[in-house]
Chain A
Amino acid sequence: MAEAHNPLEQFEIKTLIPIKIGEFDASFTNSSAFMVIAVIAATALMVFAVRPRAGVPGRWQLLAELSYQFIAKMVSDNIGKEGRPYFPFIFTIFMFVLFGNFIGMVPYSFTFTSHIAVTLTMALVIFVLVTIIAFIKHGFHFFSFFLPAGVPIVLAPLMIAIEVISYFTRPFSLSVRLFANMMAGHTLLKVIGGFVVPLGIFGVVPIAGLVAVTGLEFLIAFLQAYIFTILTCIYINDAIHLH
């Protein structure tokens, strides 16, 4: 009984199809299944909804166009013209995280963005890519990034230390923010849900709370995808323009 109501049970990774590649466990799990569902859903929206190529868009085509314009504007506002080549990558990140978060809101589904393994991998890939871009664009001049212009030379050691630490903690703050938000929200929903049946008739109170928190969770699902994406934009902008 206590086992079944464990609020963290929903985050359990369950192997659906065991696959082994050499030493590595590459099993198809519930997490993988929902990643595939997210890809299919995003593709359905972005590819099949715009099939009619209507001059006056229908509902779904409009949604796809708005997503495109939303991210295109984010890229041009935060990076400028040089951000153009990174637009597909940033757009894919947004869609992947957004659909992961939203599909996770469906009851009994699995939220792959609530796993640090997933978010940290994404954040590390972004971090490495951003650093590579910075080196390609600026060579060793990139290290000037760690000492903002106009800082008194006395403060230089301190500033460099702070900048280096803040630079290398980026992937962790980026990944933990998303994972912790998603996990906390889903755990909260589960905990409040656990009160409904034992309270009998007074269960309506936690149900009202559940409705409110579910609404909030939808907002957070979008907001975290937005934050994850815009921070990626800002990091790429830093790499291209330094300070």
Chain B
Amino acid sequence: MPQLDITAFSPQIIWLVITFLVLYVLMAKIALPRIGSILEERQARIDDNLDAAQSLRNESSAEAEAYEKSMAEAREQARSAIYDATQEMSADSARRHEELGTRLSGDLKAAEERISQAKEAAVAGIHEAAASVAAQATERLIGIEPADEAVASAISTALDTSVKEAG
């Protein structure tokens, strides 16, 4: 077995020590610090980016909140404006309604008065007409001109009775 050849030990061990030390120096002084710093740098950058993202997120959520708030305010304002307008309009219409009602009832009263005056006038006319008709008829029939008072009372009695009968 070549491994047990003692004479080959010393060159192997000497070169092992040399190469191992060289590798150790290269790793410890150059490679490992360099890779360590690369990894650290990257970690720092990732952390920074995460922090930045977090702060941006906070900012945007604050913006969104403000937007929500202003939206709610505007909505509230619109609602109250609509309410006011409705209120005003309904008050206006009620007022006009009332005015119209008063005017109409005034007109109605006046009309009723005119009607009753016309009626009275008509009734009075009927009495006179009936009296003159009755006086002339009496004169024609019996040749006597009846006294005005008698004719008038008879007429009014008769008319009252017929009015009563007519109900």
Contacts and interface: CB of A to CB of B under 8 A. Distances in A.
Contact of B26 (A19, A36, A39): A39
Interface string A25-63: 111110110011011001100110010010101000100
Nearest to B33: A88
A65 B26 contact: no
B19 A43 contact: no
Interface residues of B, number: 35
A116 B5 CA distance: 10
B28 A31 contact: no
B16 interface: yes
A26 B13 CA distance: 9
Interface stretch (B38-46, B92-100, B122-130): B38-46
B38 A31 contact: no
A103 to B, nearest CB: 12
Instruction: State the 5 A-B residue pairs at the shortest beta-carbon distance, nearest first.
Output: A88-B28, A46-B31, A32-B15, A35-B19, A13-B8
7 contacts: A21-B14, A42-B23, A47-B26, A65-B39, A92-B20, A96-B23, A118-B16
Interface of A: 8, 11-13, 15, 19, 21, 24-29, 31-32, 35-36, 38-39, 42-43, 46-47, 50, 53, 55, 57, 61, 64-65, 68-69, 87-89, 91-92, 95-96, 112, 114-118, 121-122, 179, 183
